[in-house]
Amino acid sequence: MTEPAFSLRTSGRLRRRQLVNRLMGALALGAALLAVSVLAIVVISVASRGASALNLDFFTKNQAQGFNPTGGGIRFAIVGTGVIVGIATLMALPLGVMIAIFLSDLASPRLARVTRLALDVTNGIPTIVIGIFVYTIVVAAHGQSALAGSLALAIIMVPLIARSTEEVLLLIPTSQREASLALGVSRWRTTFGIVIPSAMGGILTGTTLAIARAAGETAPLLFLTSLGTSATADSNPLHPLQSMTYAIFNYSEQGDPGFQAKAWATAFTLMCFVLVTSLGAKLGMARYRKKMGG
């Protein structure tokens, strides 16, 4: 056995490389831990501060009348948020999906680019500006209402739903559409019979994320629906209804620590809702991706 013409032995270069590798690994890990810990801190501080106000009454009773920092609950706000976000979703989902169908199937490349740009810009408009816009066209003439709030939220949700649905529609291979068309099925029936059902998982995920985002909006609702009463769990969309986000704002303005605690508790409830729906959406998307890829 002769000596090889080159050497594979360790050298100073190798040791330096190993050191750099370890350092980079440590930095990356540190950054990740930092991000996670920020989330943890937020969750823990909100939870701890609101814990004192969390009880069954909190969720089931409306705001106590008179000055009662510890009595009553936020039922009115939960119902309000539900109605406002619910109607917004009913408006935004079909519209967003149709826009996505337009983008992925029908539009010429130029038109598609313009539309996408418009959606992205809309996405970037500060939500308070959207609120003002809806105020001038609806509230100025007819007064505040939950519907106006829904309208504003819908405007915010549409770009999100449209873009995420488009992304999912593009994931559906052309071969699926071709297979359907080759059977003598029309384009529209192909879209609604094959493409949309296949994309449903992704569509729902995108919608869920949009709902989570909308539920957390405060600014637009300030002008549009904040005058809602807190004494009854009104669910008439033509009336102004209060949202949870506004309730947080409202409670935090009050001096009494009891109200403060309520603010934290409401914040905690809302945060839990957003966390759960976001996580659920992510898991759903992962399962959906696996199904499409399999």
Per-residue binder mask for other proteins (CB under 8 A), 123-162, x = binder: ----------------------------------------
One-letter amino acid at 91 equals M
User: How close are the terminal C-alpha atoms of the chain, in Å?
Assistant: 51
Minimum distance, C-beta of residue 102 to other proteins, in the bound complex (Å): 15
State the minimum distance, in angstroms, from the CB of residue 186 to other proteins.
5
Given the complex with other proteins, which of 32 and 114 has the nearer CB atom? Answer: 114
8-state DSSP, 53: G
| Nearest CB to other proteins, comparing residues 61 and 177 | 177
d(CA 185, CA 200): 20
> Can you tell me which of 47, 64, 194, 271 binds other proteins, judged by CB under 8 A?
194
Within 13 Å, how many C-alpha atoms sit on residue 168's CB side? 31
Site mask, other proteins, residues 89-128, x = CB under 8 A?
-------------------x--------------------
- Among 120, 178, 253, 256, the residue binding other proteins under the rule CB under 8 A is 178
CA-wise closest residue to 140 among 222, 246, 240, 223: 223
Closest contact distance (angstroms) between CB of 175 and other proteins is: 4
What's the closest the beta carbon of residue 100 comes to other proteins, in angstroms? 19
177: nearest Cα among 165, 192, 167, 163? 192
Q: Is residue 294 part of the contact set for other proteins (CB under 8 A)?
A: yes
113-119 long-range contacts (CB < 8 A, ≥24 apart) are 116/163, 119/158, 119/159, 119/162, 119/163
Pick between residue 1 and residue 182 the one whose CB is nearest to other proteins. 182
Residue 282 carries which side chain, given as an amino acid letter? K
